[in-house]
Amino acid sequence: MGVTRPVDVALYIRRSDKVNKGEKSEALLHTFREYMQHVDHLLYPDHVYHDYYDEENHKRVDIYVATDDTSIPK
């Protein structure tokens, strides 16, 4: 899998059996960006402005993402 240790944050994005298209769904569909915004708030709780694309003000973070959705960025 190529996982480096330690991992700063691990995400489990489960969709295939929780989010159904066209049927009653057990969970809401959240975008990958929404997940990353929560990661940003977790890592930088004192920041007023949060932007996970802001590479200048953020340190390198190792994030492990487990998912059953092939559309999630690798």
Reported as a single tens digit per residue, the pLDDT across 43-64 is 878 876 666 566 676 677 788 8
On whether the CB atoms of residues 37 and 53 are closer than 8 A, the answer is no
Reported as a single tens digit per residue, the pLDDT across 2-50 is 666 678 888 988 877 666 666 677 777 788 888 888 888 888 788 766 6
Terminal-residue alpha carbon distance, the chain: 12
Give the residue with greater pLDDT, 71 vs 19: 71
| Residue 74 pLDDT > 70 | no
The stretch 62-68 carries a mean pLDDT of 86
Q: What are the extents of the domains in the chain? A: 9-67
> What single-letter amino acid sits at 25?
S
- What is the per-residue pLDDT for 68? 84
d(CA 5, CA 47): 26
